[in-house]
Amino acid sequence: MTRLNVGDQCPLFSVKNKDGKEIKASDYIGKKPFVLFFFPNNIGYYCKSEVCEFRDAYEKFCEFGVEVIGASPNSVQSHNRFAEKHKIPFNLVVDEGRKLAKTFGVDGFLITDRVTFIIDITGKIVFSHSALLKSTQHIEESLKLAETLCAN
């Protein structure tokens, strides 16, 4: 599938979070904007860095009224251990079989691509950023747009 772009409507999805609770796009669309970032897995320097950088910026996202969701193909148990170890306050969701990544067009050859989307309150994708080895850029660029969304 082709990668979704700015201006596209966010597909409706339903996935489980690190606690096994169902998380749906409809939980946010019509209520608040959200960041959905895809990362390959819970191991490795860049993945850990990206998730922990979103963790460190989470309070700022909340100030702007923007929720954060991280998605990778890891299991509920793996996400739970990772979130506990690194004190992750936002939802890490299980992308079983990389179905969510395929829906958003970010299912790479061997791993999920490192791509961040921001979806506005109407469900429209207003930001998309891809940088496999530059995880910091995802957070910096997302925060800039989150602040803009808050101002509008």
Q: Which residues are part of the catalytic machinery?
A: 47
Whole-number Å distance between alpha carbons of 20 and 25: 16
Cα Dmax for the chain: 39
Residue written as tokens 């940088």?
A: 131
SS (H, E, C) 6-73: CCCECCCCEEEECCCCEEEHHHCCCCCCEEEEECCCCCCHHHHHHHHHHHHHHHHHHHCCCEEEEEEC
CB of 149 closer than 8 Å to CB of 119:
no
